[in-house]
Structure 1
């Protein structure tokens, strides 16, 4: 943890403590409201607390991304007495080097061996599992792909929490489901036959939508500058763009020509009273927690947007204690009524008829499918007259709600 992050955490804890002292002083003096001076101090510290919290999130995100960029480990399939593990590691390293040279200067500068390596890792881009495409790309090396994947995770909070499975191909995947909660066992009397109760399985279908980064153009001067981490920079840009698209669909995707979001058709555990079009009460949150079966509450988390968190942070329990407890330790999420809070700005902001807060076991509630092997295309001729090269990234992904009983939402009233 950097000294800057440590200071920011200490600053947030100190601001929160001062705000609670203001409130405690007003309560001890049995006052109905804060004085003008206290209110001014409270508002100033609350704005500072919000800004500091955002700084902490940015620094933690940067630290996670930086850790991935430094992780150059090569995963092998296991050793053998003839040195197969070393040969595989050497092959991966050789492909990384060839890919880096290809990214900077194109195929013409590669050696014959490097061209063979690149061609061996070339694949057609397929929009769906059985629809052939006319263009192709080169598979991104393992360590570079990890940069992209991690960027997705740190951008969208939900993607770090739901159940993500990785498949080798993009063929339609049947995901079995089962709800056996209505069935119970029974006492067996002597000399009687055991009764039958079949298990009923449902099915979710996971496809593989092709997400693109759109075109990124880079100047030849930038690509030829060996002092600059061009591969890492372009990988981050591709990942951020794809991540923003996935994050929105993961929360509120329609399910038609895109993933179905976690919040899209989720059951409302609580609907706010008339007039609460942008607000929520302490009792609402308690009711929302208890709308989820206790079987899921041991691993349950809250999910909301940053604007939703702003509303929640102002709530207090019956003893006047804040419901939200800011974290003072790096990597540890802040909590609300004892459960961690996941922030994802793909989740709707508080508004009329919007489901702005969710609660439940996110891993049980949602399954996402990612096809292994992101791809990148390098377009040399298209922008040659600008002395630029175009880059295009692809990643195939889908997601669907899984166990509907594991997750409930707070829904604002229409008016």
Structure 2
């Protein structure tokens, strides 16, 4: 663990202790409200806590990316076949970087053939890639793009993600037989029949685009600027923001159906709880999910940062905080013993809103991606500006799978 990460974890733990001491002082003195000075200290500490949490998340994400890079870039010490695969990936990555900066005219024959073997259809009634080409983003860069999307949408990192080569409708059978039970059979009695009912679910492929970005030739020619990784990351951020909102609350018609959109309420707040939740509500929400799912290692809470701020202030019957910040790398913050994933696509606390989810998201939600992310380069269109156009796109669809695995907390209407 790096010294920076260690210090950030310690800072978050200390800040959280300070906040708890402020609240404990008010409780010892029998006050239901904080003084102006205490409120000022609390708000300042909460700002520091959020900043430290963001720093920790960023450093842990970079640590994961470093692991991906090392796994892909080691070329010595392994079997010849493995080295060949890594060499091929490195060659493609180098060719992609040259294509990003200089276009097809800046490639040698081997690089051109390598890219064209992975080239997608780029425009109607035209096959020449000289002026407009679309290519898969290299694995290393795609990992960064995907990590960026996960940062904007925590649901994506938890869901069951299926990658397919084409965007044809993807069908799979569904069945819920949990209401059917066996029976004792009397001697010489005939066994009764009870059929298994099957359904079918389908995933398509909506096309997400980053919109067009124009880059000057001067910037492309600047070898000191790592454009071939920086630009896909920026395009990924744009796509990630759009995907994140839909994975949480998408309507399911002209966009993916969100995890929270039609989720069953495991607990609804009582009258007056339009923007609040209490300890008992969270317990009821947990137990609205069957133990078969609660025991899964991927079961957790999902909520927005605004909802997390709300639950951070809750305590159990022994005046102990429900939320426990982690002080170790790789160990998540917990709420009532379960991990917490923050996704700001989830609705914030409000009347009738479903602001907190709980369950096994991997079992409850499936995401279908087609061919990974791709990027296109438009060379001639903006030649008179000495600019090159770029845009990224990703084909994706998603919908709930096992709806019994996930429940939500719904605020009261009034």
Instruction: State the TM-score, normalizing by the size of structure 2.
Output: 0.89
- Closer, same or farther: CA 358–94 of 1 in aligned 2, 3 Å: same
| Partners of 2:133 and 2:99 in 1: CA distance | 15
Contact 2:65 2:143 in 1 (8 A): no
| Partners of 1:173 and 1:326 in 2: CA distance | 40
The equivalent of 2:326 in structure 1 is: 327
The equivalent of 1:355 in structure 2 is: 354
| Partners of 1:125 and 1:47 in 2: CA distance | 47
The equivalent of 2:182 in structure 1 is: 185
Pairs within 5 Å for 1:103-142: 103-124=100-121, 137-142=134-139
The equivalent of 1:276 in structure 2 is: 273
The equivalent of 2:4 in structure 1 is: 4
Contact 2:133 2:378 in 1 (8 A): no
185-194 or 162-171, which deviates more:
185-194
Post-superposition CA distance 1:212-246 (Å, at most 9, x none): 11112222122112222211101211211111111
Among 169, 172, 176, the alignment partner of 1:175 is 172
Structure 1 unpaired stretches of 5+:
128-134
- Closer, same or farther: CA 143–44 of 1 in aligned 2, 3 Å: closer
The equivalent of 1:102 in structure 2 is: 99
- Closer, same or farther: CA 297–386 of 1 in aligned 2, 3 Å: same
Contact 1:282 1:316 in 2 (8 A): yes
The equivalent of 1:248 in structure 2 is: 245
Contact 1:68 1:150 in 2 (8 A): no
What is the deviation of 1:37?
5.1
- Closer, same or farther: CA 295–68 of 1 in aligned 2, 3 Å: same
Describe the SS at the equivalent of 1:199: coil
Describe the SS at the equivalent of 1:254: coil
- Closer, same or farther: CA 391–60 of 1 in aligned 2, 3 Å: same
| Partners of 1:30 and 1:93 in 2: CA distance | 65
Describe the SS at the equivalent of 1:218: strand
Instruction: State the TM-score, normalizing by the size of structure 1.
Output: 0.89
The equivalent of 1:407 in structure 2 is: 406
Structure 2 unpaired stretches of 5+:
125-131
Question: What's the C-alpha RMSD, in Å, of the aligned pairs?
Answer: 2.6
Post-superposition CA distance 1:348-372 (Å, at most 9, x none): 1111211111111111110111112
Describe the SS at the equivalent of 1:398: strand
What is the deviation of 1:159?
0.7
Post-superposition CA distance 1:250-269 (Å, at most 9, x none): 00011111100000011111
Matched residue pairs, number? 403
The equivalent of 1:56 in structure 2 is: 56
| Partners of 2:183 and 2:366 in 1: CA distance | 33
